[in-house]
Structure 1
Amino acid sequence: MTQPSAALLASWATELFGVPASATLLPGELDWNARLDVEGVPAYVLKVHHPATDPSVLDFQDEILAHLARTAPELAVPRLVATAGVSFGGHARRARLLEWLPGTVWADAGPPDETRLRALGSAVARLDAALAGFDHPALDRPYRWNMQQAVALLGNAPFVDDALRPFVHTTLNRLDELLPALGALPQQAIHNDANEHNVLVGPDGGVAGLLDVGDVVRAPRVCGLAVALAYAQLGHADPMAAALPVLAGYHAESPVRPQELALLPDLVDTRLAMSVVNAAVQRRSDPDNSYLTISQTEVRRAIGAITREPRELREARFRDACGYRPIPRERRIVAWLQSAACDPAPVIDRNLAADPPLVLDWTHTDPTTVAAVNSQVAASGHTFGLGRYREDRDVYRSDAYTSSRSEGPPRTVHLGVDLFVPEGEPVFAPLDGTVHTVEYRADPYDYGGVVLLEHATDDGEPFWLLIGHLGREVVSSLAPGQRVRRGERIARVGVPAENGNWPPHVHVQLFVTLLGRSTDLPGVIERDDIDVWESISPDPNLLLRIPVSHVPARDRSKQELARRRRANLAPALSLSYADPLHIVAGDGAYLVDADGRRYLDLVNNVAHVGHGHPRVVSALAAQAELLNTNTRYLHGTIIEYARRLAATFPDPLSVVMLTNSGSEANDLALRMARTATGREHVLVLDWAYHGNLGSLVEVSPYKFNRAGGDGPGPRVRVCELPDPYRGRYGADGPRYAADVATHCADAPPAAFLHESILGCAGQIEPAPGHLAAAYAAAREAGALCIADEVQCGFGRVGSHMWAFEAHGVIPDIVTLGKPIGNGHPLGAVVTTPAVARAFQTGMEYFNTYGGNPVSCAAGLAVLDVLRDERLMAHAAEVGTCLAAGLTELATRHSIIGDVRGRGLFLGVDLVEDRATKRPATEAAARVVELAREGGVLLSLDGPHGNVLKIKPPMVLTRADAETALATLDRVLAMVGDVTT
């Protein structure tokens, strides 16, 4: 039926819905669609449905939209405004008015990058999660786009052209076999149509919305994921390279289970086959509707690319994208190869322990000559060589296994081990097995005889060993199916003439699967695929047992690191900066990225005496070479460290207990206080942070009062933050301390726990007089006072070794961490003999690594450097310079509301308005990003995320401080003063 004009659709919008608008026609499969612009601005979509459309199906769609609007209003999906009836050409139709979602259709938005593809997966996962709670009888309607009903489409396969018909038959018949497994998965409502015309892209390049709920069905959620992957692949030379980020984005939002991944390659193929069949049928019935075949050219190309890649390899790549081991059975095979049950014979006749090979660095691009290799081995006194390479310039490329996504020269990785031995050297079977394949190759890169042996673990798990570059006679001496015994001679090393004049060597490669391809498997693969292929082809040294490393250290790109991090590290771990840094080295007060750029580090108070300080490194190495054990033995290092550390504290703080971190130290301090007092309650200051253990999150308002927190537990009382800048009592410390006395009266506490300078609260030094008054109130109530010096101790404040000393108080317990070992895991509790004695209840305190000799050596080196380089005085000098410079900047940049702190523990509070002190949170985030671009690393803290925290390594120089101030000056000018 002829579609009505845009003018007529615009008139219907006015007549039916009271919307005066101009209309722009939009494509549709059966329905008439138009965008309605009100006063020149897109506002609505008008959908006029085909007269044959079942009204109950439209009611069903309306109920879906109502469900989403009610349960997930944050999702960018159309909102139904109204419905009405209309007649055209003698047929009654349903008209529906929906809100317009701004954005560009995916198909028109240009080639997607990895970020956009990930966003697509995330958007589909969120939408399907919202649909999981929706139920309706129409979800189970007979529908040609329901994947679980796709086998019925085989009846229409004759309408598909000859080139694609085999793919359709194979795919849909395979689906028929998989339906029981698919049906065993949980079923829910899924969107089912994230194609390139139903996804909107925003101006920032991200996903701005998902359209069209007309295809919603009940099915396992993996079917909806398969739809998104199928269409995301269109238009890409390497479809899998596009599909993997979509899957990773989905998995990050809604984890995909292994049993779903096992079905996913076939479900992606099924959706493509469904598209082919349904388009062929629709083309026959409506040959003039171009929308019906809008995706078919790209679908055909995708099918052509997909069918060249083994199905098991696709599943492996899917599993890897989700952080699972690519080949599940690899783990069992590798475990057996490492076990005592596996006792391989040498592949070549060498005593590897007595005569390890010379490691040869070489590549295939410029093959080393026979004479050069032999002379290199002979000159070394070794009898054979071992080829060592990870990155290889070899142009070994196979459409079945490698992609075209790499730009520039190929970056490839060698999977096997090459053993360089004299020509004619005998080669032996390492284990009992069977000859799977034997052949002679004359390929430019794979000359020589090749034998593929099949072995099995004690549990019957098969695996294969490929041995190549053998003499030609191997094809006559071995045959497929022939049994070989452990230690049996099976071949000889080929002479150069038989191996394309390569130096005589044996290529040995292990496989846990053959991917259905026998010996047609690569020995060299692209670098980006290494994680998958190292699971398919594990290290052959599991069998060779060569006592030297044949593999250089892995060097991952920044992009690879980001992908691998997302797949295998918990998403709760955060990264700094919008464009995370790839840091590979540290030097004093600087960090160095993978490109060699140096960044002035103003936030790392862990590397207290500087990144990579040679005295600390030397102490660690020397002690590690001698001994590392626990504290159940007498050892001079721990005693010396405890003595030296205790000497830095005022009496009666003289007893030391060592831990692995500041968090452990705070946990132990709470245990000691509760044991000593027989009480449970703890008083803490608002916005304090004391560590990442469960017991410490409970006493850290910075954690429990923010996203994901549950508020204070019943044993915790939160006292008012003595903030001289934003607090209600200004600099009147004793007035804040009255809150401590109030809480003591409410529930007698075990301890008053405080940071001597509150870092996460915004670099807050307690108002003068606060700690003295708070200590008095707590002790009058019988509580112990615990000073958390994890961030601010070890001379950082410049005026004193410990920040609490500046307030004229002496705690009962002090906790240390972070800078104590200059990055080596170490923490400490320093307390009084009385508290230590009270903790001696008969229950032993033992910490396996706490106080080990290596950690103590690091701690001693830190104390030595602090003393010998006079870093406390240095912190006072440079800190004073830096604080003065920041204060001067405040005279020219009114966004600076407050400069605070001591020594090299400073904070800069950024405000939108100095009069109201309104936090400049967004501007602060921009300052940090711009400073990073300028080579200076800063971070943010405080309740509003608007305080620049400055706590650099103590070796920061005055020149470094001037660099930081100049950078901040430029950045603040770029951000501009946003004060009112």
Structure 2
Amino acid sequence: MTGPQTGPQTGPVTGPAPQPSATILVEPAPAVDEDWARDALLAEFGIEATVSPLVSERDRNFLARTADGDAFVVKVSNSAEDPDVVTMENDAMQHVATTAPDLPVPRLLARPSDQATAVVVEAPDERRHLMRVVTVLPGASVAHPLPARFAAELGASCARLANALRGFFHPAAGRKIEWDPRRIAMLRPHVSALHPERRQQITRFLDRLDGLPGLTESLPGWPLHADVTLSNVLASPDGTVTGLIDFGDLHHTARVCDLAIALASLLREAEDPWTASAEFLTGYQRHAPLEPAEAKVIGELVLARLVATVLISAWRSDLHTDNVAYVSENDEGSWRMLDRLTGISPEDLSLRFQRMCGTSRVAAAQRSSSGLLERRRSRLGGRLSPLFYREPLHVVRGDGPWLTTADGRRYLDAYNNVPVVGHAHPAVAQAMARQMATLNVHSRYLHENVVELAERIVATMPPGLDTCVFVNSGSEANDLAWRMATEYTGHRGAIVSDWAYHGVTEPTAAMSSNTWPEGHRPDHVATFASPYALAEGTAPGAAEAAARMAVAVEDLGHRGLAMTAIDSMFVSPGVLEPSDDFVAELVAHTRRAGGLFLADEVQAGYGRGGTNLWRFADFGVLPDFVTLGKPMGNGHPIAALVTRREIADRFTQVDEYFSTFGGNPVSCAAALTVLDIIEEGRLPARATEVGAHLRRGVETLADRHPDLVGEVRGHGLIAGIDVRDTEHSRGAAWLAERMRENGVLVSTTGRGDGVLKVRPPLVWDLGHVAVFLEALDRALNRGPEGAAYP
């Protein structure tokens, strides 16, 4: 059908839809004008309007305004455009309207007669085209100079649109287009179209970019807009993005390619490209955090897009001399940015973008460094910050109960109770990352996380323990308990067990008898003998506890007893197992002396004891204070003091307590997730089973090596193994070194470090026990210098 001389003949065309016969970048744009568009709009969609042309690269676009003030864009596609691609664009816009209705993308109008959103029309030159009508969005082309907030807005909009398209599929998305930066090699033949002075520069870039397909093939990707550029973004005067238009380049590509296309467009116009890049990536990652492998290739993909811009411009300027201004409008900015990038190596450019994205730190810390030990000693105080083992381990990764060193060796962790649910637990990492990406402030604002965490912890405590105070470490929790106890009781004395550990602050260090110099005891602290087994092999009971406490109270003299503190597992004295009546008498004697009782669950809590979440509950006692620490955040610093409201109220009459980071949303997100994992995985019950199997296995080895191994103690998933000094052995420290050589990490405790301390993450299973026992068996069968026993 051919239209009359006065205007186009429109409507459904008898015969096939337009068939692509040439590349979209070569075929001339539709030969239609505003009069034709006006008539077509009325004939096909029943809309009477005035029409004016809009600029376009390969299609023809018109702005239509009705007498009622409604505005639409009439889009007439190039005859070389595949109809399936147009259908895909329409489907994509409708998909975004459903998945992200708040995103400012155009909405399609349907033809009243059949609800078609793309109709076939014939132009005066008899070429057939697909025509669509879409709504007009508010805003205008981005002003220059770019508004201050625009870079971040563009990044956020690009990410949000990418997220909205995730899950969209169409067969036509597999098309290959020249604008895809991964396919920059397709454009190499067009170098000859450049000015001779530029050909060598671009050829070097093309050689450098040859590997992009391989670098991007495994990166996240799906059908993406791939043209969120300044030409296709509308904004308000302050830089707020109000419209994302033109889905004409949509195809399946890597997400980071879609990002790089938008970023390249921004950098062409930015006064300071590096600041603009950082702001763009910050805005982007607020909605879609990038993977390290994506961040590594951003720079090269931006470079590829800039190269593609100048090559396609040079090529098409020769083909479409009537549209040179539009085709080449990005040349000046592209060349300016290409010149900036010429002197930057691929490695330096990659690192720069990785640092902006925050993905370089973890990777850098995983590399082996021969000078790392000396650097640490020179800046971390030498002996002030000691390391484990004679040959310190450079640990770079964790995974459940395993740690991996920089040389790639994997070690079973039999020591660290801090990652109670396993190193790098993905649920904890997920919770923290998402909360950190949303909000992290101190706890003087209302926030759900800190309240929920307090409620859940209190719900696990006996009645009366109803108040939580969040801090950053067990030391701080014990320190605060001490301050409250002295205020509540009016006394100034403390009682702890011998060889105890309760923290590193001045008050808690004074209560850590394992760090006292020989012959020294702070005047205000007295000790009682820990519940070591008696000579007859029985555990001390109430009578022994009463006698020991009486001596300690007397040692305090006029100071009086403010607080008695115990580690509920007596780990530092050697992992001891007190009887219920021994602990009950410690509590009763404390109260008779006018003091308060603290159960330090920093090492013992979170199901370590197996039977209950808290070890003190196994003894049937009610403390005045319970302190929680190390395992609480699975490696993230958070701790808590749980007490009675009356004690807290007395304290607040004369003082207050505030910790900037205590109870912050990120820390609480970690702690809540740890509780979730412990509950869902029934880890306390697992600790009972696995711990019993562990101790039985060690006892079997002890029977085979009675000269080396003595008593094996513990409850739940902890074990204290007495190691004897013999002519073949140097004790527990020697055995810990041998275990390290065998791929298992343990530590020592007890007076003189004579006890091997086994205190692994609660995710150990029987297979991990078998690995431990094999390593211990091998270690016990070696002499002090590695020789086998005779």
Q: Compute the TM-score of the two structures, normalised by the length of structure 1.
A: 0.45
Q: What residue number does 1:694 align with?
A: 506
Give the one of 686, 691, 697 matched to 1:885. 697
Q: What residue number does 2:206 align with?
A: 369
Give the one of 550, 559, 569 matched to 1:741. 550
The correspondence of residues 261-660 of structure 1 with structure 2, limited to 5 A, is 369=206, 372=209, 381=261, 383=264, 506=341, 554=364, 556-571=367-382, 572-660=384-472
Indicate whether 1:810 and 2:622 are aligned: yes
Q: Which amino acid aligns with 2:374?
A: R
How far did 1:739 drift? 2.2
Q: Which amino acid aligns with 2:733?
A: A
Q: Is the 8 A contact 1:629 1:852 kept in 2?
A: yes
Q: Secondary structure in 2 aligned to 1:796?
A: coil
CA–CA distance in structure 1, aligned partners of residues 431 and 346 of structure 2: 42
CA–CA distance in structure 2, aligned partners of residues 371 and 930 of structure 1: 50
Q: Which amino acid aligns with 2:523?
A: P
Indicate whether 1:827 and 2:639 are aligned: yes
Q: 1:353 to 1:767 in 2, by over 3 A?
A: closer
**Structure whose residues are more often strand by fraction:** 1
Q: Secondary structure in 2 aligned to 1:586?
A: strand
Q: 1:896 to 1:978 in 2, by over 3 A?
A: farther
Q: Secondary structure in 2 aligned to 1:753?
A: strand
Q: Secondary structure in 2 aligned to 1:897?
A: strand
CA–CA distance in structure 2, aligned partners of residues 385 and 963 of structure 1: 55
Q: What residue number does 1:899 align with?
A: 712
Residue deviations 1:506-559 (CA, integer Å, cap 9, x gap): 5669xxxxxxxxxxxxx999xxxxxxxx9xxx9998xx9997789785354242
Indicate whether 1:715 and 2:504 are aligned: no
Residue deviations 1:901-958 (CA, integer Å, cap 9, x gap): 1011210010137xxxx9x982322221221121111111111112110111111001
Indicate whether 1:962 and 2:774 are aligned: no
Indicate whether 1:925 and 2:737 are aligned: no
Q: 1:545 to 1:959 in 2, by over 3 A?
A: closer
Q: 1:368 to 1:973 in 2, by over 3 A?
A: farther
**Structure whose residues are more often helix by fraction:** 2
CA–CA distance in structure 1, aligned partners of residues 619 and 549 of structure 2: 17
How far did 1:858 drift? 1.5
Indicate whether 1:861 and 2:673 are aligned: yes
Residue deviations 1:53-109 (CA, integer Å, cap 9, x gap): xxxxxxxxxxxxxxxxxxxxxxxxxxxxxxxxxxxxxxxxxxxxxxxxxxxxxxxxx
Indicate whether 1:941 and 2:721 are aligned: no
Give the one of 704, 715, 721 matched to 1:908. 721
Q: 1:698 to 1:507 in 2, by over 3 A?
A: farther
Q: Which amino acid aligns with 1:924?
A: A
Q: Which amino acid aligns with 1:954?
A: L
Q: 1:843 to 1:972 in 2, by over 3 A?
A: same
Q: Secondary structure in 1 aligned to 2:611?
A: coil
Q: 1:629 to 1:375 in 2, by over 3 A?
A: closer
Q: Is the 8 A contact 2:530 2:570 kept in 1?
A: no
CA–CA distance in structure 1, aligned partners of residues 438 and 445 of structure 2: 15
CA–CA distance in structure 2, aligned partners of residues 546 and 931 of structure 1: 39
Q: What residue number does 2:244 align with?
A: none
Q: Which amino acid aligns with 2:747?
A: S
Q: Secondary structure in 1 aligned to 2:704?
A: coil
Q: Is the 8 A contact 2:564 2:598 kept in 1?
A: yes
Q: Secondary structure in 2 aligned to 1:611?
A: coil
Q: Is the 8 A contact 2:539 2:578 kept in 1?
A: no
Q: Which amino acid aligns with 1:898?
A: E
Q: 1:546 to 1:813 in 2, by over 3 A?
A: closer
Q: Which amino acid aligns with 2:448?
A: G
Q: Is the 8 A contact 2:580 2:620 kept in 1?
A: no
Q: Which amino acid aligns with 1:369?
A: L
Q: 1:593 to 1:749 in 2, by over 3 A?
A: same
CA–CA distance in structure 2, aligned partners of residues 805 and 756 of structure 1: 10
CA–CA distance in structure 1, aligned partners of residues 359 and 717 of structure 2: 46
Q: Which amino acid aligns with 1:557?
A: S
Q: What residue number does 1:761 align with?
A: 573
Q: What residue number does 2:239 align with?
A: none
Residue deviations 1:128-156 (CA, integer Å, cap 9, x gap): xxxxxxxxxxxxxxxxxxxxxxxxxxxxx
CA RMSD of aligned residues (A): 4.5
Indicate whether 1:950 and 2:787 are aligned: no
CA–CA distance in structure 2, aligned partners of residues 359 and 818 of structure 1: 48
- Count residues with an aligned counterpart: 497
CA–CA distance in structure 2, aligned partners of residues 375 and 585 of structure 1: 29
How far did 1:733 drift? 5.5
Q: 1:897 to 1:821 in 2, by over 3 A?
A: same
Q: Is the 8 A contact 1:789 1:803 kept in 2?
A: yes
How far did 1:665 drift? 0.5
How far did 1:632 drift? 1.8
Q: Which amino acid aligns with 1:934?
A: N
CA–CA distance in structure 2, aligned partners of residues 960 and 540 of structure 1: 39
How far did 1:820 drift? 1.1
CA–CA distance in structure 2, aligned partners of residues 927 and 752 of structure 1: 34
Q: What residue number does 2:589 align with?
A: 777
Q: 1:978 to 1:890 in 2, by over 3 A?
A: farther
Q: Secondary structure in 1 aligned to 2:388?
A: coil
Q: 1:730 to 1:817 in 2, by over 3 A?
A: same
Q: Which amino acid aligns with 2:669?
A: A
CA–CA distance in structure 1, aligned partners of residues 355 and 700 of structure 2: 64
Q: Which amino acid aligns with 2:762?
A: M
CA–CA distance in structure 2, aligned partners of residues 727 and 943 of structure 1: 21
Q: Which amino acid aligns with 2:620?
A: G
How far did 1:797 drift? 0.6
Q: Secondary structure in 1 aligned to 2:730?
A: helix
Gaps of 5+ in 1: 1-345, 387-417, 426-488, 495-502, 510-522, 526-533
CA–CA distance in structure 2, aligned partners of residues 640 and 355 of structure 1: 36
Q: What residue number does 2:243 align with?
A: none
Q: Is the 8 A contact 2:403 2:410 kept in 1?
A: yes
Q: What residue number does 2:491 align with?
A: 679
Q: 1:575 to 1:353 in 2, by over 3 A?
A: same
Q: 1:967 to 1:547 in 2, by over 3 A?
A: closer
Q: 1:902 to 1:605 in 2, by over 3 A?
A: same
The correspondence of residues 20-99 of structure 1 with structure 2, limited to 5 A, is none
CA–CA distance in structure 2, aligned partners of residues 573 and 750 of structure 1: 32
Q: Which amino acid aligns with 1:731?
A: P
Residue deviations 1:823-876 (CA, integer Å, cap 9, x gap): 111101111222222222143221111111221121111111111111111000
Q: 1:720 to 1:504 in 2, by over 3 A?
A: same
How far did 1:664 drift? 0.8
The correspondence of residues 79-158 of structure 1 with structure 2, limited to 5 A, is none
